[in-house]
Amino acid sequence: MKAIINGTFLIGENEVKNAALLFDSKILGLVPTDKIPDGCEVIDAQGLLVSPGLIDLHIHGYLGEDASDGNEEGIRIIAKGLLKNGVTSFLPTTMTVSWQEIEAAFDNIRKLKAESAHADFDGAQILGAHAEGPFVNPRRKGAQAESAILPPDADKMLKHKDIIRILTMAPEMPGALEAIRKITEESDIVVSIGHTDATFEQANEGIKAGASYVTHLFNAMSPLNHRNPGVVGAALQAPVTTELIADTFHVHPGLFSFLRDIKKEKLVLITDCTRAGGLGDGEYTLGGQPIFVKGIECRLSNGTIAGSVLKLNQAVFNLRENANLSNAQAVYHATHNSALAIGALNEKGTLEEGKDADIVLFDQDMQAHKVFIKGTLKYTRGE
């Protein structure tokens, strides 16, 4: 058994001091410091924030690797690299590439998912896959490859229902509503509305059919207009989880507070990070297409925005600073809400007793100093 002391514990949206967090592979509870059991290994947090591990539900790549490559070593590199950012679990996210490549990526993620659940895995745990496409609208494809877009087909996805946790698709495409109904009735896959030119009415039809999530709000979708509210309008008024890329580029930071106030526990921070994440400016690829990175911007050659180089801990920092939130309130959107969105809240997302001991010690700049996954120390800053 271990005990963390001298920290500020992020418990739900509250902050608790003068306590000790007990854990082994699971969280055992928060107790007064004079109630630490004899023989416990004591870890001094030295005033740092003691947070649940961050969960990234939408990340394509990192450190030169991409989930769509179908490369086992590539996923390992991503998983290990994410530890530095305080990410303890994630969904490797595929692009609209050929169906053969997508299936190969699913097979690869499936194999690594099982391996990542073991204590000796050197990286963040893989909770499944997020399939961004291939059932998207060419008019809002963004950086998705138009040649690889397919008509909605529930059976293609149900074949991989053991590994897919989120599927992004356009509800207005022919056959999409039927596919949404079948997928949500026959699996636990969360269907997300994204890369879509749907009207407000079509988006709500998708939600009525079973979609419960919206991919990177405002981006690659019909915008909010007072006479045609579009997908953005539907996302804001319906009880659906919405992703936010809080890099201050994809969405203006002036909206962060508004989005948090209106969506509450239905707002999830994600990165949409590409293989360029963690590297410098330059030319990379995304879904087989060249992308160009300059600062926080990733674009195709025609100027289209193409993913990000955002780190999830930076997203938490940006939300905190621009929405005037406490550390606990900001972290909530990358922990509790993320786990809730994919039905993993019984195991992940908070420091409640009985959950996996996924714990991160952050400083006030949201830089990770120590990362534990299921109670095992996976990362120490500077080592």
* Structural contact between residues 263 and 319, judged by C-beta atoms closer than 8 angstroms: no
* Structural contact between residues 6 and 47, judged by C-beta atoms closer than 8 angstroms: yes
Tokens describing residue 355? 């959950």
Q: How far apart are alpha carbons 217 and 87 in whole angstroms?
A: 22
Q: How far apart are alpha carbons 2 and 24 in whole angstroms?
A: 6
Q: What is the mean pLDDT of each run of 10 residues along the chain (383 residues)?
A: 98 96 98 94 98 98 96 97 98 97 98 96 98 97 92 98 98 98 98 98 98 98 97 98 98 98 98 95 89 93 92 98 98 98 98 98 98 98 92
Question: Which residues are tagged catalytic?
Answer: 272
Residue 171, CA atoms < 13 Å, CB-side half-sphere = 31
Over pLDDT 70: what percentage of the chain? 100
Whole-angstrom CA distances from 85 to 5, 68, 227 are 22, 22, 42
273-328 tens-digit pLDDT? 999 999 999 999 888 889 999 999 999 989 999 899 999 999 999 999 999 999 99
Q: How far apart are alpha carbons 248 and 315 in whole angstroms?
A: 9
Tokens describing residue 187? 């699996």
Helix (H, G, I), strand (E, B) or coil at 120: coil
Tokens describing residue 226? 């007072």
